[in-house]
């Protein structure tokens, strides 16, 4: 597998973030991925910092986790809005069909209709349970 540099897009699920980061570094042997909050601010605004680091990666891992409760008749959750924004940025950067934007889905989520039909990797049972699927997808782009 080529040494792809990744960017992990995430919401509030710290467990999923650190489990995934550990998996791609220690199990797959990829370089340390960019996690925006772990990078120095260097006087930049959030969007400047995001753009600077997003331009130095080969693949984006988007962790879509049930972080925000929606006010609906049913108990419904969605991914954080920054996650959806950054997903759109990376889809524009890499192209939808490139395989370089990997969607990882955890738990029940309200998915925006514009994303209907996209294939997700289910990490509800943990990242390791989806490990072979993640490895196969990375092999396909390296």
Query: How many distinct structural domains can be found in the chain?
Result: 1
Residue 1 falls within a domain, yes or no?
Answer: no
Sheet holding 121-122, edge to edge: 6-9, 59-64, 101-105, 121-122
Range of the domain at 53: 6-141
CA distances from 107 to 10, 56, 138 (A): 14, 30, 23
Backbone angles phi, psi at 122, to 5 degrees: -80, 120
Residue 60 falls within a domain, yes or no?
Answer: yes
Residue 37 falls within a domain, yes or no?
Answer: yes
Residue 93 falls within a domain, yes or no?
Answer: yes
CA distances from 18 to 15, 45, 99 (A): 5, 25, 23
The burial class, CB within 10 Å (0-12 / 13-18 / 19+), for 90 is buried
Residue 29 falls within a domain, yes or no?
Answer: yes
pTM surpassing 0.85? yes
Would you state the pLDDT for residue 1?
52
CA distances from 88 to 59, 60, 73, 81, 94 (A): 13, 11, 28, 11, 10
Would you state the pLDDT for residue 29?
93
Best CA proximity match to 77, nearest among 86, 65, 85: 65
The H-or-E segment that residue 63 falls in is strand 59-64
Q: What is the CATH number of the domain that holds 39?
A: 3.40.50.10140
**Residue 69, both tokens:** 């409760």
Vertex 70 angle, CA 67 and 73, to 5°:
140
pLDDT along the chain (142 residues), means of 10: 87 95 95 96 96 95 90 80 94 91 90 81 95 94 82
């Amino acid at each position: 597998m080529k040494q792809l540099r990744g960017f992990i897009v995430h919401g509030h699920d710290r467990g999923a973030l650190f489990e995934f980061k550990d998996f791609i570094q220690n199990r797959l042997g990829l370089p340390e991925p960019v996690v925006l909050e772990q990078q120095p601010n260097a006087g930049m605004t959030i969007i400047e910092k995001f753009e600077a680091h997003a331009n130095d990666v080969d693949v984006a891992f988007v962790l879509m986790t049930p972080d925000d409760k929606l006010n609906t008749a049913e108990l419904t959750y969605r991914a954080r809005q920054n996650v959806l924004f950054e997903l759109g940025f990376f889809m524009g950067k890499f192209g939808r069909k490139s395989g370089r934007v990997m969607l990882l889905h955890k738990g029940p989520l309200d998915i925006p209709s514009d994303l209907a039909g996209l294939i997700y990797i289910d990490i509800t049972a943990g990242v390791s349970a989806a490990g072979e699927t993640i490895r196969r997808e990375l092999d396909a782009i390296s």
